[in-house]
Structure 1
Amino acid sequence: MPSTSLRISGAVAMSAVLLMAFPATSYAGHDDSGTDPDNRNQAVKGFSLTANGTSAMNHGKAELERSVISTSWGGGDIEVYDGSYGDTGWHGRTDCTDWNALWTSCDIVRVRLNQSYSKSASQWKSLGCHEFGHTADLGHRARSNDTDNNSCMRVEIWPTRYDQHDLNAIKAGT
């Protein structure tokens, strides 16, 4: 049986290997910690979307184009769905459905838009901007760091665009 010091040394070495396998990334601002895109080229595909879902997807894709991320149509990276998901408390939800082999970035991101809540055309655009921001690894913005109320990454208001802080965070994180 190995000595206690050998077991501790082995545990420390294994911890170091694991830390190197999952590198820490630094982001300028509001990292979503859950949907790191695998690259700066993202193909988008909508699945049986309503007119509101299509509007949200088109606007979200256009907002990503304002950043360092290029988008195309056809799918493979960002999949967009809408439906009546019920009185869930959320208008949209974004999650990774396919992580790369090292679990360091997301190969396929799913965006779900909840049709169960009534929204104006502008709010659908804001929702698209917001959920596509999550596909670029943006997290929610707080009032304290969005003092001019112009980021679609805020949850309690409905701006339709990324502000410069959002664009800088996308650039730093991808």
Structure 2
Amino acid sequence: MKSSRRLMAVVAVSAALALSVPFTAHAGHDDNGTDPDNRNQAVKGFSLTTNGTKAMNHGKSQLERSVITTSWGGGDIEVYDSNYGDNGWHGKADCTDWNALWTSCDIMRVRFNTYQYKTASQWKSLGCHEFGHTGDLGHRSRSNDTDNNSCMRVEIWPQYYDQHDLNAIKAGT
């Protein structure tokens, strides 16, 4: 009896610790935990630069190519850009509000780093990439994007989801 209570306590503490770790969107092609809460996502940008607005608009349009429907007004995907400095990243997507069961994300935050100069096509690629994370896509590598056409790659700048990405979004939402 004491050992089963002890085991239950250990499991409860372990679960609490696991849930307290913040999830940032980067991993395999399934982002393992950044699942959107549904297929309807409202987008809102906050004080974006011209380039940030272009990236947001392109990312939203690419997400629309999938099974996810987007609208304007916010509540699901919040988009920001700022000079976050020379920190090694161009953009980030993370969950800021998990549902009650911690199984899906109610509010995703997308951040574009304006520190490094990017061309217009790179801004579009960045928007596609970060919005891909909001659709539960993780990073792609050379080994699983052999034709170099997925914006989910990190070392090159394609501007669109390929069919593999679209299939992964459909399977995950």
Per the alignment, residue 41 of structure 2 pairs with 42
Cα 1:92–1:3 change in 2 (3 A) is: closer
1:30 is displaced (CA, Å) by 1.3
Per the alignment, residue 65 of structure 1 pairs with 64
1:46 is displaced (CA, Å) by 0.2
Per the alignment, residue 153 of structure 1 pairs with 152
Q: Which structure has the greater CA radius of gyration?
A: 1
Moved over 2 A (4+): none
**Counterpart amino acid of 2:161?**
Y
1:7 is displaced (CA, Å) by 4.8
Aligned positions of 1:19-34 closer than 5 A: 30-34=29-33
Could you tell me the percent identity over the aligned residues?
A: 80
Q: Determine the C-alpha separation between the residues in 2 that align with 1:111 and 1:33.
A: 17
TM-score (norm 2): 0.86
| SS of residue paired to 1:127 | helix
Question: For each residue in 1:3-49, what CA deviation from the matched residue of structure 2 results, as whole angstroms up to 9, or x when unmatched?
Answer: 65x558x74xx79xx8xxxxxxxxxx811123210000000000000
Per the alignment, residue 25 of structure 2 pairs with none
Asked if 2 retains the 8 angstrom alpha-carbon contact of 1:34 and 1:95, the reply is no
Asked if 2 retains the 8 angstrom alpha-carbon contact of 1:92 and 1:127, the reply is yes
Q: Determine the C-alpha separation between the residues in 2 that align with 1:142 and 1:122.
A: 20
Aligned positions of 1:109-120 closer than 5 A: 109-120=108-119
Asked if 1 retains the 8 angstrom alpha-carbon contact of 2:82 and 2:112, the reply is yes
Q: How many residue pairs were aligned?
A: 159
Q: Determine the C-alpha separation between the residues in 2 that align with 1:34 and 1:90.
A: 21
Instruction: Structure 1: give runs of 5+ residues left out of the alignment.
Output: 19-28
Q: Determine the C-alpha separation between the residues in 2 that align with 1:123 and 1:164.
A: 20
Per the alignment, residue 86 of structure 1 pairs with 85
Instruction: Structure 2: give runs of 5+ residues left out of the alignment.
Output: 16-27
Asked if 1 retains the 8 angstrom alpha-carbon contact of 2:41 and 2:77, the reply is yes
Aligned: 1:167 with 2:166:
yes
Q: Determine the C-alpha separation between the residues in 2 that align with 1:95 and 1:50.
A: 20
Asked if 2 retains the 8 angstrom alpha-carbon contact of 1:97 and 1:110, the reply is yes
